Structure 1
């Protein structure tokens, strides 16, 4: 089932399945969100929880026992329930089931709130640990943006721009997209900018750390752009399906990284995972600002 929220600037549509954003349309009629063409990538904007990326053998250890998990966690594969809906806000929730608990043995409530605030869509995630043991998890977003924003522009006209100069480091992945444990310097044009080329993604995603907590996707001469703000995420990823004509780019705020290459993850030992004591709650908000 789909739900829509709208204000004078934006209209956002969200599915109960995975609490996934399905559409983000500006008041001038521009669709900013990738629409899931399966020839490239069938998803649009999945929520990643309680793990980001891949696990070796799709397996992990927790409390000394082995369990299994699909890529990018659990919640993207399940229906949420509607908590509340207004003209400009939608609250959805997912609670562990018997099967989910068997795969990830923690009782929890995971809530996603979408709020339109002017020309910004805020995505607030809340985790409630309902177990008697500490939870270990990652949290992330994976929105794809449909390019070009304006007819007549080309993918290579666009760039990713940080608001201030920085010296980011890139997470090094293996050929199978697992972490090697290495970070290497990633040079930006003028210290702020990544000019886009399809070949940048021939080796899969670019994931950076040590950046400002905001990045803008836009092109010179195009009044349309999007700015993703992620104040409480340590990593920002950029990805598209490897092809010389892929018409979208994902901007992915992540709290943590995938599994080490060739090693089955022990959740309690993965240092970048968030830990939440029994009975506590965790909240993290990131946003998409649409400029047009």
Structure 2
């Protein structure tokens, strides 16, 4: 496998691997890395891109037009090597094109491009999906970046997630890895959630709608990371219980509904892209200067 590509400026340094087009490091100019390091004791991921599904499928299979295909949790992109399509000192673009291998599990001609770009203290991670086939193409897509908890400089301080819109979005908690049909009361109060590891004993906190287009993750009286989301209406927060990271996960797509079957187009928040069209999904994180 090719080596990771490094991009950066006077404020940020970002390393991106061809495997999954996955970010491997995000450092500020003081040399501190804010991204989880992938320690296998807890979780080997760092910032995987989820495609063409988010979450689990029943018996690890999806159904498309009456045909059944194997599909592991969060799809195949995160385990597939991308090609480097373009790079500059401050940007890199990796692409994954449909192949005989991908068509065996996902029968569409697609292009998935993942771009990382820095601008001042901001990092933007964008995915573009193109339908190069002749039929409608359903898919889910999501980002799964893991940031340190506690953040550098935030040791010993409570950490919070604060929604820009001040909302109290309803909570969905997975049942056997799937989305239940009923929602729970929001853990947010006035758009604010103080994080505790015991919140994640039942897996991720999922907010199917209402979390808005931006949030801040940070330590009280300490460092703050501000996120904005583009075309990513679903949000999840996740920690492997006891692990020193928090995943801030914006998605357009979720796990299958409990008992609803394996049909890909029926999954919540699925995008159906018509032939010849493309769609863009992105998040930006503003880092401490």
Which of the five TM-score ranges fits, normalised by the shorter chain?
over 0.9
Q: Paired residue for 2:168?
A: 167
1:137-193 alpha-carbon deviations (Å, 9 max, x no partner) = 011000000122235723x6111111232120112321x22111222230423x121
Q: Whole-Å Cα distance in 1 between the matches of residues 265 and 195 of structure 2?
A: 38
Structure 2 residue 262 is the aligned partner of structure 1 residue 261? no
1:59-110 alpha-carbon deviations (Å, 9 max, x no partner) = 1110211111011011101000010110000011001110210110001111
Tell me the TM-score normalized by structure 2.
0.95
Structure 2 residue 246 is the aligned partner of structure 1 residue 249? yes
Which residue of the other structure, out of 23, 26, 33, is the alignment partner of 1:24? 26
**Local SS of the residue matching 2:181:** strand
> Relative to 1, partners in 2 of residues 1:111 and 1:152: Cα closer, same or farther, differing over 3 Å?
closer
Q: Whole-Å Cα distance in 2 between the matches of residues 216 and 152 of structure 1?
A: 14
**Local SS of the residue matching 1:169:** coil
Q: Whole-Å Cα distance in 2 between the matches of residues 152 and 47 of structure 1?
A: 27
- Number of equivalenced pairs: 286
Q: Paired residue for 2:61?
A: 59
Q: Paired residue for 1:179?
A: 179
Q: Paired residue for 1:139?
A: 141
> Relative to 1, partners in 2 of residues 1:139 and 1:152: Cα closer, same or farther, differing over 3 Å?
closer
Q: Whole-Å Cα distance in 2 between the matches of residues 68 and 263 of structure 1?
A: 17
1:221-266 alpha-carbon deviations (Å, 9 max, x no partner) = 21x22122113111111001023xx211000001111012244321
Structure 2 residue 261 is the aligned partner of structure 1 residue 236? no
Structure 2 residue 3 is the aligned partner of structure 1 residue 4? no
Q: Whole-Å Cα distance in 1 between the matches of residues 133 and 174 of structure 2?
A: 33
Q: Tell me by how many angstroms 1:36 deviates.
A: 0.5
**Local SS of the residue matching 1:31:** coil
Which residue of the other structure, out of 47, 50, 60, is the alignment partner of 2:49? 47
Q: Paired residue for 1:291?
A: 288
Q: Paired residue for 1:15?
A: 17
- The answer (yes or no) to whether the contact 1:171–1:182 under 8 Å persists in 2 is yes
Q: Whole-Å Cα distance in 2 between the matches of residues 253 and 10 of structure 1?
A: 22
Deviating above 6 A after TM superposition, structure 1's stretches of 4 or more consecutive aligned residues are none
Q: Paired residue for 2:267?
A: 270
Q: Paired residue for 2:100?
A: 98
Which residue of the other structure, out of 152, 169, 188, is the alignment partner of 1:150? 152
**Local SS of the residue matching 2:125:** strand
**Local SS of the residue matching 2:225:** strand
Which residue of the other structure, out of 111, 122, 125, is the alignment partner of 2:124? 122
